[in-house]
Amino acid sequence: MSLGVGSNNPRLETVVKRAYEQGIFVIASSGNNALLAADYPARYKYSFSVSAIDKHNNFFNYSAKKGVDIVSEGVDIEALDNQGNKVFVTGTSFATATATRDIIELIYSNKVTTPPDLEKYLVELDNSNFKQINKEI
């Protein structure tokens, strides 16, 4: 998910919780809010929040840092613009895309099959309170 709001929305929280309970992975961008706490829905217990790092494992200057479950490369990511031209993009939304790719690889390799499995996997990877899943694939 590439969206975020600064305050809790009970209806959104209910939807995220229901998705989790049905085995749906909710991967959410933490927000580009200058190292503050993650936005909602990334802040919910039943989602996995993603923050952006560069190729040297440094946080992107505007990435949320508090309350983050996963860090993933989100600085100078190669993409295509709406005209098909190669561009380089940066931010937690792009980190969320790269993290989602890595989570899909974990699912296909049967390392995780449910959101609780991913939680356990992340606890095992814990490194300075942040988990970079792509290093383990």
State the pLDDT at residue 126: 63
pTM score, whole prediction: 0.85
Looking at residues 48-68, what average pLDDT do you find? 89
Helices 115-125 & 92-108, crossing angle to 10 degrees?
100
Helix or strand holding residue 105 (H, E): helix 92-108
pLDDT cut 70: percent of the chain above it: 91
Q: Would the pLDDT of 62 be above 60? A: yes
State the pLDDT at residue 125: 72
State the pLDDT at residue 128: 41
Domains of the chain: 10-136 (3.40.50.200)
State the pLDDT at residue 46: 95
State the pLDDT at residue 137: 40
C-alpha span between 118 and 134 (Å, rounded): 13
Q: How many CA atoms lie within 13 A of 66 on its CB side?
A: 7
Predicted confidence (pLDDT) per residue in 43-56, tens digit: 999 999 999 999 89
State the pLDDT at residue 65: 83
Helix or strand holding residue 93 (H, E): helix 92-108
C-alpha span between 19 and 40 (Å, rounded): 15
